[in-house]
Structure 1
Amino acid sequence: MFQSFQETARPEQGPPRLAALREELTREGLDGFIVPRADAHQGEYVAPHDDRLAWLTGFTGSAGYCVALTGEAGVFVDGRYRVQVKAQVASEFTPVDWPETGLAEWIVAKLPEGGTVGIDPWLFPVAQMRGLEEKLGKVALRRVDNLVDRIWHDQPAPPLGAVFAQPVELAGEAHGDKIARLARGLGSAAACVITLPDSIAWLLNIRGTDIPRNPVPHGFAILHAGGRVTLFMDARKLEGLGDHLGPEVEIAPPARFLEALGALEGPVQIDPASCPVAVADALEGREITEAPDPCLLPKACKNAAELDGTRAAHLRDGAAMVRFLAWLDRQPPGSLTETGVVTALENFRRATNALRDISFETIAGTGPNGAIVHYRVTENTDRTVEAGQLLLVDSGGQYVDGTTDITRTVPVGEVGDEERANFTRVLRGMIALSRLRFPEGLAGRDIDVLARAALWEAGLDYGHGTGHGVGAYLSVHEGPARIARTGTVPFAPGMILSNEPGFYREGAYGIRIENLIAVEPAPPLPGQVVPKMLRFETLTWVPIDRRLIVTDQLSRPERDWLDGYHAQVLARIGPLVEGEDADWLERACAPL
């Protein structure tokens, strides 16, 4: 139900584990070793076997690094985790604000010229390795076996989860057609190496159980220009899938992957952003071409079947959320803890009898815990939901027809004027993106400002991106497009993104409002000059708490949008709930 990291990521064990790692540094003649939160497949989420960063440091966030030097150990985290890391790591580890401070810059400042730092070549993509080497100057990087694995004596085994087929009526395209279409796009390359688990799952219309909350299997694949795929995956995971995979897909043991790379003839395409250094090393001496993973863009641009499935999943999930929020409103302040909130919400989703899994560990943070952007309740941090506080709940579901992700912030009793004013500023940012029409060709960096403008007017901001891509019964975080200052991939019809501005007052409260949205063509306006414009279709249908809105802060178009949104919520979700839940929904959707 709630995530506990006591078994693996135990902060009190950080100092002795760091000491053991430093003994390995001495044996190897190294001055340091970099431990990323990554696996050989370069997915965002890792199996327990690969959660080395958490095991070593106690930090359980979904992104970060530890640079363990002989004299100092830095834990690099971005804006989502700067409160969390302080609570999770021992004093022997130094939190470092990243990417403001880069790995290379920090290492150069700490090590003398001629120092040597070790990396596991399976855990670093080619582009990142190049960037590190360029910035490290006279500090050398040396490829070594993973030093953490040497000292992690009870390390869990690699995952061996079952793989199953995704029906073509939900995938919208047969995997044989996908293989042929992508193979034709390889240009001069004779083969393309694919390492991302969700790319392989999408390409072959399969799903897996190797990663908690993400229905993807671990494996590697080679897409051949002739229109076939070699899949390097343990055959035990693929039992019963022979008829589904068909003659276009050859199954090979993972142990043969490097050997097969060495035997390839002709130019080989890799994606330097995700291809591990170990793979590039195995291709040494062959002609290598570089291009984005060919699955990324077509996977992101959902077809009609995937969009229809996602819409259906959001109606089902929206009804579960309404039942939960109505139940939550009936609980007296002080009667619940965060774990009780998490358990109840997951039970409401499971009661749909359609939930395959939650899409990530549910976030339920009350009071100061809400200010921890990716907070995960544990036995040690569990707080009572008390009157006068905000409760931030960020959650989602994995259904066979779609993936959901929604955040709602609710008041527990009466809350202060500051909280209501800042909630309204966050809401204005979310509405600004929801109402937006924009020319084709724009990317996330072009529109991110709109979600922040109302906060900037008050000198406020938030330290995370505004939106990430979302898969179709795949990973809840999906590239390549995002709404952020760093988002450079142009939006295209079919992309599903989150719209989730927020504000966080450390030690006091957190606010975030999140809907999922899909990019679609915008119908032309009278006198329109721009040839093609896009807009966002709203996918999430759950009330936004009107008790936290300062109505006078909203413009007339913003009020109209919110009233229209709530009217749609009532029309779409009303028939799916009944009794006191239906009564609650009608009150929650009343016009401002």
Structure 2
Amino acid sequence: MNTGDFPRAWTTARPHIALAPSRPFLFPPRMFQSFASTASPEQGPPRLAALRAEMTAEMLDAFLVPRSDRHQGEYVAPADERLSWLTGFTGSAGFAVVTAEEAAVFVDGRYRLQVTAQVASDFSPVDFPKVRLGPWLADHLPAGARVGFDPWLHTTDEIEAARKAAPEIGLVACDNLVDRIWQDRPPLPSAPVRAHPLDVAGETSSAKRDRLAKELRRAGQRAAILTLPDSICWLLNIRGSDVARNPVVQAFAILFDDGHVSVFSDPPKFDGVADHLDVDLHHWEAFEAALTQLSGPVRVDRKTAPLAVSTILSEAEIEVSWGDDPCSLPKARKNAAEIEGMREVHLIDGAAMVEFLRWLDDRASRGGLTEIGAVKALEGFRRQSNQLQDISFETISGAGPNGAIIHYRVTEETDREIRDGELFLIDSGGQYLKGTTDITRTVIVGEPTEEMRTQYTRVLQGLIAVSMARFPRGVSGRDIDPLARAALWRAGQDFDHGTGHGVGAYLSVHEGPQRISRISEVPLEPGMILSNEPGYYRDGAYGIRLENLIVVRDAEKIGDMRDQLDFETLTFVPFDRRLIDTDLMGPWEVDWLDRYHAEVRQKLTDRISSEARDWLYAATAPLPRA
């Protein structure tokens, strides 16, 4: 599943949270419609009018409505679905700017088709990042205009960039105006916290804290503010279910230079892990006061922490030391236990995918199968392992033209039959105790056209090129990204999303800071796990995306014995041979694919049913050579 190149989202409101009763961790029910609290197109105009009334009362000319919550997460709880509630747009990235005359919804290339289908005509989609917030404000508002924003939902980087681009516009921190008018807003989650086993985590929480505390001392910093739930979960070796599909615990934390940690959340949900943790536990409401009592310098990540954090520190005359979240890179560099766990769950997940693809080949050919039917079947195959904790994101199941919607989310209203002669794209993943999976395959029902085979092969060539890459240390995702596009570029084509995102180990399926993208400058390091997912999309006709997960490793020394890195493939599921045109491929590409399919067959044969075994042998047979 691709994140594209959208940055993390965007008052003086206090961090008070309405508490929900604790509930056991269960496999969440599968839904194929928007949350009840979100908007359908017809609900958008009256909600927009109510927001404008609040803007008038606050003497504001505009108000910003981000997709993110105060943890800057891509996936948010129902209580934080403000953008969806107001506009009807359910994509995982974007933001809105509401003025007295306009309501602009900024989305990137993944969502340009989706947004037009989900919002009322009162809202105008804006092509992001071609058009950015600051210049848009400067072009659409007069000098001196006041633009309100909730400083708990926007980072320092975001607000400073907007102020720099629109110096004549005043960006004003204020209460959240959407929360004022959202009368049936759900409570924030308060699910029980679970200890993450040491044999899976591979390192104790105390060892992680000591390691990061030494880094703070070397930098002369007394403490670091942690606002990302996945960072806190990684540091404390805990998991939760506060956000659908992501096993995270919503909390803020302060890491001190002696390794001590203070956590701010809903204390009752930590009752089951009291013996596991060695932290000071406080209610959410204590966080702001705790900030004012710190001794500086205090590290704050200007890219992820709410602007309110640095504002509170500065007003208390506590020195702010800007720096990356100290957990970010250590969390991204998976240790041996985490990598081994990821290898294991990809075999479990690969077996489920093979069972599904065999079933799909038979069932789709008989007609009547819909996108939702395919989703339900795939999740059923994953559950058969008895190891699935949850799916890792809402399954993208796109038949025919729906596959061209990059982050299409099937609903009861949009559910489409998977028809003969059409491509079917399915992008899905699972959350397992030992790791997280994310895989995309595109298959044909019936006979493909030559155009389909050509485009599929070009996308496959991009995946193979990334898989085979060798590179020196210091190379970033920006340097790898062109490999995935070269075959398409030669044909005058491309895809409008990044090639790959980082993936957590039983954490968020989208994890930074690493990614394969033309805007990523983060050096790739051993242990980093990424997706490798080029694509091609023809609006109104079909979409093709192919995705494996890969892990960066030390490459075997060859040639001049230089110190290089390469990728180990974690995902083992066959590609659709019916869509591969070997006449377009180089012999090294065909060799790679035959070796890959042989490894798929070897690794999965003993994990699948006899019916699926027969299908797998045919699906992984050597490709014809010219």
Report the TM-score, using the length of structure 1 for normalisation.
Answer: 0.99
Give the length in aligned residue pairs. Answer: 588
The residue type equivalent to 1:223 in the other structure is L
The residue type equivalent to 2:33 in the other structure is S
Q: 1:298 aligns with which of 307, 311, 330?
A: 330
SS in 2 for 1:240: helix
Q: Who is 1:69 aligned against?
A: 99
Aligned equivalents of 1:59, 1:527: Cα separation in 2: 53
Asked whether 1:560 is paired with 2:591, we answer yes
Q: Does structure 1 retain, via aligned residues, the 8 Å contact 2:195–2:239?
A: yes
Q: Who is 1:415 aligned against?
A: 448
| CA deviations over 1:294-348 (Å, ceiling 9, x no partner) | 0000000000000000000000000000000000011124220000000000010
Asked whether 1:267 is paired with 2:311, we answer no
Q: 1:434 aligns with which of 467, 471, 491?
A: 467
Q: Who is 2:510 aligned against?
A: 477
Query: For residues 157-556 of structure 1, what are the structure 2 equivalents within 5 Å?
Result: 157-186=187-216, 187-246=219-278, 249-284=279-314, 285-331=317-363, 332-528=365-561, 531-556=562-587
Q: Does structure 1 retain, via aligned residues, the 8 Å contact 2:35–2:78?
A: no
Asked whether 1:81 is paired with 2:111, we answer yes
SS in 1 for 2:291: helix
CA pair 348-66 structure 1, distance change in 2 beyond 3 A:
same
Q: Does structure 1 retain, via aligned residues, the 8 Å contact 2:32–2:412?
A: no
Q: Does structure 2 retain, via aligned residues, the 8 Å contact 1:2–1:361?
A: no
Instruction: Give the C-alpha shift of residue 585 in structure 1.
Output: 0.5
Q: Does structure 2 retain, via aligned residues, the 8 Å contact 1:161–1:209?
A: yes
Q: Who is 1:38 aligned against?
A: 68
Higher RCO, 1 vs 2 (CA within 8 Å, ≥6 residues apart)? 2
Query: For residues 126-137 of structure 1, what are the structure 2 equivalents within 5 Å?
Result: 126-137=156-167
Q: Does structure 2 retain, via aligned residues, the 8 Å contact 1:303–1:494?
A: yes
Aligned equivalents of 1:240, 1:505: Cα separation in 2: 50
The residue type equivalent to 1:376 in the other structure is R
| CA deviations over 1:536-588 (Å, ceiling 9, x no partner) | 00000000000001110111000000000000000001110121111000100
Aligned equivalents of 2:296, 2:474: Cα separation in 1: 35
Instruction: Give the C-alpha shift of residue 511 in structure 1.
Output: 0.1
Q: Who is 1:4 aligned against?
A: 33
Aligned equivalents of 1:454, 1:203: Cα separation in 2: 41
Q: Does structure 2 retain, via aligned residues, the 8 Å contact 1:162–1:238?
A: yes
Instruction: Give the C-alpha shift of residue 82 in structure 1.
Output: 0.6
Q: Does structure 2 retain, via aligned residues, the 8 Å contact 1:2–1:377?
A: no
Aligned equivalents of 2:35, 2:367: Cα separation in 1: 26
Unmatched 5+ stretches in structure 1: none
The residue type equivalent to 1:92 in the other structure is D
Q: Does structure 2 retain, via aligned residues, the 8 Å contact 1:2–1:362?
A: no
SS in 2 for 1:138: coil
Q: Does structure 1 retain, via aligned residues, the 8 Å contact 2:192–2:241?
A: yes
Aligned equivalents of 1:19, 1:404: Cα separation in 2: 42
Asked whether 1:29 is paired with 2:59, we answer yes
Instruction: Give the C-alpha shift of residue 2 in structure 1.
Output: 4.1
The residue type equivalent to 1:442 in the other structure is V
Unmatched 5+ stretches in structure 2: 1-29
Aligned equivalents of 2:509, 2:587: Cα separation in 1: 34
Q: Who is 1:60 aligned against?
A: 90
| CA deviations over 1:216-267 (Å, ceiling 9, x no partner) | 0101000000110001111111012111003xx1111110000000011121
Q: Who is 2:186 aligned against?
A: 156
Report the TM-score, using the length of structure 2 for normalisation.
Answer: 0.93
Q: Does structure 1 retain, via aligned residues, the 8 Å contact 2:342–2:435?
A: yes
Aligned equivalents of 1:561, 1:38: Cα separation in 2: 40
Aligned equivalents of 2:609, 2:125: Cα separation in 1: 49
Aligned equivalents of 1:23, 1:3: Cα separation in 2: 33
The residue type equivalent to 2:39 in the other structure is A
Q: Does structure 2 retain, via aligned residues, the 8 Å contact 1:428–1:558?
A: yes
Identity value in percent: 58
Q: Does structure 2 retain, via aligned residues, the 8 Å contact 1:170–1:309?
A: yes
| CA deviations over 1:153-210 (Å, ceiling 9, x no partner) | 0000011111101001100000011011101101211110000000000000000110
Asked whether 1:114 is paired with 2:136, we answer no
Instruction: Give the C-alpha shift of residue 102 in structure 1.
Output: 0.3
Q: Does structure 1 retain, via aligned residues, the 8 Å contact 2:192–2:272?
A: no
**Deviation larger for 227-236 or 492-501:** 227-236
Aligned equivalents of 2:552, 2:345: Cα separation in 1: 17
The residue type equivalent to 2:499 in the other structure is T
Q: Who is 1:588 aligned against?
A: 619
| Aligned-pair Cα RMSD in Å | 0.8
CA pair 422-535 structure 1, distance change in 2 beyond 3 A:
same
SS in 2 for 1:244: coil
Instruction: Give the C-alpha shift of residue 447 in structure 1.
Output: 1.2
